[in-house]
Structure 1
């Protein structure tokens, strides 16, 4: 673990290796004799700004042997949250005197933020890291771009999420743009487009939308003059809804089923903008889907005495908003009414005596043991095959 070095506040003269003298008051860290990675922090008061503003400061890195004494990082912590990664830093150099940098921070009341300066020492590189003249100015920065408000993004699980960072200022090919997560993870921006000479935009896709969550991101740009940082916006990942219970069966006919979708209790997120019924036979490999626009729904044109499996699909706003089908309702349609065709489904010759024979007529309902009709019909036929008859009592 890195130890925190003590910041030395010098109200005196700083004399560099080149013999230059800088009068005044400033914050300075002496990196001589420090182990690599030791840190010193300077925390500014918490700021609650209502309008566009700019923070500027001067920094100085010096070393007797002209090697870098370490690095200087700047963090912006919002609403007392995590420190995250730096939005600005300088390392690997020594400066020729004091250098000015700007911070264009687009965080406004009721949100608040704190700027943290951090120096990190480098072993075997004695020298000084100093900060001076930190000011909050009531006007836009002259060199660091200012971001417009970053909007929240809502997507469904498994879909791509895209943030659009729009900034006011001049775009340079040397500028570095990235998206910074609340926990400090950085994601490089993919596409930058110049809108006009005073404005440019950049987009980035966030791939981690595999599960229901809420996370925060902000846009950061590093330019020659300093850094700009946007407000934090939320990435809200919603889970498409699915019913907890199967549909409720209200009525059954030979060619229809009345159901109630039962979509009030769900797993996942609303609002529900579309309800659909998906049904199929339990022995078939086809399925049909119908839109439901009423509390109860009637499935038409079904086959008699067939078992069906019925599920409900729910959809919320956005691409990929349809959830998986809910639990199934499995039910069977009734048999068709008694007709000559339906009753005489099967004709069995039971016995033949001279010119009379006995028939067993099996209806569609016999599969469930509902009806068996043994009849004795008197007739005269020369042979059993090729006869026709009209059984009595069937019309």
Structure 2
């Protein structure tokens, strides 16, 4: 290695060592005790003693596999640089602090001096952001993006219960199939609709059943007969739409209220009492007849009885 000394005009006690043969792009080193044992490459160069020029890192691909909220996904962070990034040079960070697991790292053949790191995240949620970072010999760079998610579907038009389809212990609900042209939101494909009901005395809704979307294709409305209801009871009802995937359950649609009819007697009534009383006026006499009976509804609690009163006025004209 051939080196020579050059004195500084400003600082006479400092000397600069120029290593002409050691580095293709040498740096000027200074110190009180003379030159260092070996030359180092200046910024923007690497691989001493040849000192090749680096190519700053560039993120050529950064995205995640689109999934439903709450599902797991993978992120692809591909970076091109010279020298080619090493596996540990590329990392993934989350603004929510979620852990990213490196599942695969490979140098690409189609893109020279490029490496793709594939990261796995167990669960992603709406509003989260993720950052692909590069910190290596070629330099530093980063890119932050929001997680790409499907929007879960929702029926925005109210369902209806036709009055003629209301019974004492069941009712039929109808709704138009999910369609963005009708103002419904979310992403297809749609799998099914689930129907949820509760009374005013109940705290939680109960799922009464579901209807596959394929059964509604080509129809103006979907329908479902809600069973096992109580007579003369008002119910609150809504429909949930589900798309493909484990996390595809959408938010509840508009709520409606519908009341079941009074039930018909299951057994003949039991007469409790018959009373009569006469009434007279100037035109013609009247007789008031009061009949009292009760019956037990078999679909209700064994201690529930209904008592009815009926008053009849029998008139006999006076000639």
TM-score by length of 1: 0.45
**1:142 equivalent in structure 2:** none
After superposition, the Cα gap between the structure-2 partners of 1:350 and 1:249, relative to the gap in structure 1 and judged at 3 Å, is same
1:326 is the counterpart of 2:253 = yes
Q: What is the alpha-carbon distance in structure 1 between the residues aligned to residue 248 and residue 168 of structure 2?
A: 35
Q: How far is 1:313 from its partner? A: 0.4
How far apart, in 2, do the equivalents of 1:152 and 1:254 lie? 52
Give secondary structure in 2 for the equivalent of 1:283: coil
Q: Give the distance between the partners of 2:258 and 2:237, measured in 1 at CA.
A: 8
2:199 to 277, 281, 290: 281
The verdict on how the C-alpha distance between 1:300 and 1:59 changes in structure 2, with shifts beyond 3 A counting, is farther
Q: How does 1:1-395 map to 2 (within 5 A)?
A: 17-20=16-19, 62-65=28-31, 72=43, 98-102=51-55, 107=60, 152-165=64-77, 175-179=88-92, 190-193=101-104, 202-205=118-121, 209-211=125-127, 220=134, 222=136, 226=138, 235-250=147-162, 251-262=165-176, 263-264=178-179, 268-271=185-188, 272-284=190-202, 287-293=206-212, 294=216, 295-338=222-265, 340-341=267-268, 349=273, 359-361=291-293, 372-374=309-311
Q: Give me the whole-angstrom Cα distance separating, in 2, the residues matched to 1:350 and 1:232.
A: 85
**Distance in 2 between the 1:374 and 1:234 partners?**
74
Residue pair 1:17, 1:64 contacting (<8 A) in 2 also: yes
Superposition CA RMSD, Å: 5.3
Residue correspondences, number: 244
1:239–1:166 distance in 2 versus 1, CA, 3 Å: same
CA pair 248-62 structure 1, distance change in 2 beyond 3 A: farther
SS of the equivalent of 1:243 reads coil
Q: Deviations over 1:3-60 (max 9, x none)?
A: xxxxxxxxxxxxx9213459xxxxxxxxxxxxxxxxxxxxxxxxxxxxxxxxxxx876
Q: Which residue of 2 aligns with 1:125?
A: none
Gaps of 5+ in 1: 1-15, 23-57, 74-88, 108-148, 365-370, 377-395
Q: What is the CA deviation profile of residues 163-189 of structure 1, one whole-angstrom value per residue up to 9, with x for unaligned ones?
A: 14579999967x3221389xxxx9995
> Once the 2 structures are TM-superposed, how far is the Cα of residue 275 of structure 1 from its aligned partner?
1.4
Using the TM superposition, give the Cα deviation of residue 363 of structure 1 relative to its aligned residue in structure 2, in angstroms.
7.8
Q: 8 Å contact 1:161–1:209 — kept in the other structure? A: no
Q: 1:72 to 1:315 in 2, by over 3 A?
A: farther
TM-score of the superposed pair, with normalisation by structure 2: 0.53
What is residue 303 of structure 2 aligned with on the other side?
Answer: none
